[in-house]
Structure 1
Amino acid sequence: MTADKGGRKGGKAGDTARPARREGRPNNGQGGGFKGASGAGRPPQAGRRPPRPQGLEARAVAVQLVDGVQKGRLLDALLDKGAVAERYQRLDPRDRGLARAIVGYALRRHGQIDDAVGRFLNRPLPDDAGTLKAVIAVSAAQILFMDAADHAAVALGVELAGTDKGAQPFKGVVNAVLRRVSENKAAILAEQDAVALNTPAWLMARWSAAYGEDTARAIAEMNAIEPTLDLSVKSDPEGWATRLGGVRLPNGSVRVAVTGAIEKIDGYEEGAWWVQDAAATLPVRLLGDVSGKKVIDLCAAPGGKTAQLAALGADVTALDVSYHRLQRLERNLHRLGLKANLVKADATEWLGGTFDMVLLDAPCTATGTLRRHPDGAVSKKPADVATMAALQRRLIDQAIRMLRPGGLLVYATCSLEPEEGPDQIRRLKLIEAPLDVVPATVDELFGLAEIVTPDGFVRTLPSHLQLEDRRLSGLDGFFAARLRRQ
């Protein structure tokens, strides 16, 4: 965390409440680095071991996840396998949901949290203090944005700092900073420009150039809202929307505002649906009638599009480089009662025949899914755009080799960056690739005129699909183009 990330609109609530500064590194939980240190946070009396506070384990897991992201790991990777993933899975469903919610707020509102905490620090928090930054982020997220008792969030934050060797000397700082954030939270939130604080400046500049400043802000505002859950149902979307208390979207997806364990939602065990954002269903729709067609889904995991193709009757091959992710895809297909040919291979190198249709949902910077994957706002860098665009070019060239004459290729990414979307199609024209664009039409995309570009591409934005309930609004940001092999 740093003391000042910008975005304050004036006012001095944070300054007028600051007592005299104390200098020096904390010692035994006291002093240093904090504007207004407190004597609280002392260790218990000798011989007394206080009971483990309720909810501490869920928050401890949240700290580990946030700490991992702050140190450069992807949240999905942390949840996928390893010690933290195992600890997360051992939580009961309610605590698992709590841990995930805390992590979501800590990452989605990271800029506001940094700004709030920085108002009460003389200097940035040290990098070599174990999980200190994550402890404060997790605790401040609860104080500022969640329905949690402030005193409990403070007390648990101090407790969490005490369980980590690197953070333990800073227990007093944790206590004092969190108390000051709690005391001044209304004034702090009133002063903050959430969009400017939570969205990296380089991304805001890119989105403003590509879509205009108003749309860029609308995208950033939607990214700050906790995401909904979209379900692709095998049949009867109206019935499932009623059954789950959700809404039926124009594409037939069912959208529900559900938190907690997905496995506990009605219909999971019977394989009635799978999780897939509504925007992610559109690339398959561009392929048209896939029944009986030989289709390959490149970079297939986690498998929503593979399930969609199989449910529509395609003879589908799902290729992915990750054996672990393919195993999870296979389990999901088994639950759904669907079949696909699974292949572990590098899509930039594999040539296992030709296909009637190729679906390439390519790896990308995923800047269109920051609402769903808020760690991206912390971990992504400007250089990532060029790196991913280069990989995408290799994948497209290989996809062309897999496609029979007259066959269809749908190229898609969940990025908002032009280099990963329309610029890739313009490159194909420049190199005279044997492909023709087949424009998408509003009629085949459920009448959603705002998502069809003048070039006949599909471009969804997080600010699209505004419903009466703002919490149920929005789409993942996707680009998709349909091309036919000459």
Structure 2
Amino acid sequence: MNQTGLPARRTAHHLLMQITTEGRLMAELIAGGALNQLANDDRARAQRLATDALRGLDRADRMLKPYLKKTPPDHVMNALRLGVIELCGGEAAHGVVNAYVEIVGRNKRTQAMKGLTNAVLRKIAAEGPEGWEKRAVPLTPGWLRQPLVAAWGREAVVGMEAAHFSGAPLDLTAKTDADAVAKATGGTVLPTGSVRVTNAGQVTSLPGYDAGEWWVQDAAAAIPVKLLGDVKGRKVLDLCAAPGGKAMQLAAAGADVTAVDLSERRMERVQENLTRVGLKARTVVSDAFAFEETGFDAILLDAPCSATGTIRRHPDLPYAKDGSEFGALIDQQETMIDHALGLLKPGGRLVFCTCSLLPDEGEVQVEEALSRHSGLTVDTDVLRIPGVDPEWITQEGGLRLRPDYWSDLGGMDGFYVAVLQKAE
């Protein structure tokens, strides 16, 4: 970062504004070039600042509240939030305060609030990291917290929030030898076979990246493919395949894989990943409903969903979204299950999964699919694999994974998985 740190801070402020006021997602903003004008060090700094602010936003607001008679405009509030994050992270007060006073002053509508910004941040600086640590773990925004509490109970949600605040370590799926990958990267093999690396740094610099010995995939996301067991020589469809982790798992296990995704750009990334790790799969750019090839032994449907299970890695989600689009996603998941079942051979298996914490996108979908399709059953025996706690198996026969599980190991993404067996 340069002497003043202003370019990185201004960009972090821009990201925060776009997410909290325009409903944009961080990944969307970065893909659109939000960081392109920055030097490499400043890119990393800006993204880290914005991510840390989102992860601790509720706690930052609690620290600011005693010093604000009323909530200032968003432009000022987001500058103050970023200031809190830096000051409570141990950054020197002089540089931090001056930078955010300048950011507030550059906006004609908020120029008059430079003095407020200066005064408030200097009071925050006096509290420092000790004041930060006294505050409670940040709460999830109410629109999402309420249904989560209704589904899982307050104690469980408190555990999830602790996991969200802590963030996510880096999980890797080994192409062949998890123990060797763990040894090379300094990681640990998790109970389900994924490799977890803490303080990983630049992913592409880790041993084994260039040789294609592993790929990045959260431990929870790696479980659905494992539930299919031996797929060698089997014809398997990965529907909604991007970014390709599950397709690579299937290909590494010897399956005859067809990977389908709507986005040409995302499918290019899938092919790049397959090439890097030296695996093969047929890739098809198509809307899932337009793909009508039949006769698959197994289908993996990682359906579009709310992604509420990924907040550990994407803390922008609860601030960019408000839940208004989730009803349409739930309807889409229902029709995708029905479509996928039509592509299966008689006796074939459908692995339905979503990276969601909402039962309507998991448990309820399976219950309703069973009521719609005569002869459809849930295979619970396949869920009993190494590392899976039997208590994670749900009443309707699926597997519920949550961020508060494995708390001593660093948690996992929220996921729901069920293996549906089509009648012969």
Do they fold alike, i.e. is TM over 0.5? yes
CA contact (8 A) 2:227 2:382 kept: no
Instruction: Give the aligned partner of residue 114 of structure 1.
Output: 61
Q: Which moved more, 1:201-210 or 1:312-321?
A: 201-210
1:155 alignment partner in structure 2: 98
- Residues 208 and 168 (structure 1), Cα distance of their counterparts in 2 relative to 1, 3 Å cut: same
Highest Rg: 1 or 2? 1
The equivalent of 2:9 in structure 1 is 59
Matches within 5 A, 1:69-218: 69-70=19-20, 71-80=22-31, 82-87=32-37, 91-92=39-40, 94-127=41-74, 131-144=75-88, 146-162=89-105, 167-185=110-128, 188-189=131-132, 192-195=135-138, 198-218=139-159
Measured in 1, the distance between the counterparts of 2:96 and 2:106 equals 15
Displacement of 1:333 in angstroms is 1.5
Q: Would the aligned equivalents of 2:97 and 2:121 in 1 still touch at CA under 8 Å?
A: yes
Instruction: Please tell me whether the aligned partners of residues 366 and 413 of structure 1 are also in contact (alpha carbons under 8 angstroms).
Output: yes
Task: Tell me by how many angstroms 1:224 deviates.
Answer: 0.8
Residue segments in structure 1 that go unaligned for 5+ positions in a row: 1-50
Within 2, Cα distance between the matches of 1:204 and 1:310? 38
RMSD: 2.4
> 3-state SS of the aligned residue for 2:15?
helix
Q: Would the aligned equivalents of 2:239 and 2:300 in 1 still touch at CA under 8 Å?
A: yes
Which residue is 1:271 aligned to?
212
2:270 aligned with 1:338, yes or no?
no
Is the partner of 2:34 in helix, strand or coil?
A: helix
Report the counterpart of residue 23 of structure 1 in structure 2: none
SS in 2 for 1:119: helix
Query: Which residue identity lines up with residue 476 of structure 1 in the other structure?
Result: D
Please report the TM-score for the alignment, with normalisation by the length of structure 2.
0.92
- The verdict on how the C-alpha distance between 1:377 and 1:462 changes in structure 2, with shifts beyond 3 A counting, is same
Aligned partner of residue 413 in structure 2, secondary structure: coil
Residues 124-147 of structure 1: per-residue CA shift (max 9 Å, x gap): 2225xxx44433322222223x24
Matching residue's letter, 1:481: A
Partner of 2:160: 219
Q: Is the 8 A contact 1:136 1:157 kept in 2?
A: yes
1:192 is displaced (CA, Å) by: 3.5
Q: Structure 1: which amino acid aligns with 2:39?
A: L
**What amino acid sits opposite 2:36 in the alignment?**
E
Contact 2:35–2:43 (8 Å) recurs in 1: no
Cα pair 2:214 2:277 within 8 Å, conserved: yes
Deviations 1:438-471 (A, max 9, x none): 114554243533432344311111111233xxxx
Q: What is the number of residues matched between the two proteins?
A: 422
Question: Is the contact between residue 59 and residue 99 of structure 1 (CA under 8 Å) also seen in structure 2?
Answer: yes
Aligned: 1:453 with 2:394:
yes
Q: Report the equivalent of 2:411.
A: 474
* SS of equivalent to 2:220: helix
Deviations 1:74-127 (A, max 9, x none): 1121122x230433xx532x4443333222211111112223223322332225
Q: Which runs of 4+ in 1 moved over 6 A?
A: none
Question: Any stretches of 5+ residues in structure 2 without a counterpart?
Answer: none
- Asked if 1:282 corresponds to 2:282, the answer is no
Could you give the per-residue CA deviations for residues 362-387 of structure 1, whole angstroms, max 9, x where no partner exists? 11111111111111121232434323
What is the TM-score with the length of structure 1 in the denominator?
0.81
Report SS of the residue matched to 2:332.
helix
Q: Is the 8 A contact 1:96 1:261 kept in 2?
A: no
Percent identical among aligned pairs is 39
Question: Is residue 2:360 matched to residue 1:419?
Answer: yes
Corresponding position of 1:374: 315
1:430 aligned residue (362, 371, 386):
371
Cα deviations by residue, 1:41-92 (Å, 9 ceiling, x for unpaired): xxxxxxxxxx963533333332222222112101121122x230433xx532
Q: Partners in 2 of 1:327 and 1:165 — Cα distance?
A: 43
Equivalent residue number for residue 12 of structure 1: none
Q: Judging changes above 3 Å, is the alpha-carbon distance between structure 1 residues 240 and 147 closer, same or farther for their aligned structure 2 residues? A: farther
Whether 2:422 is the aligned partner of 1:485: answer yes
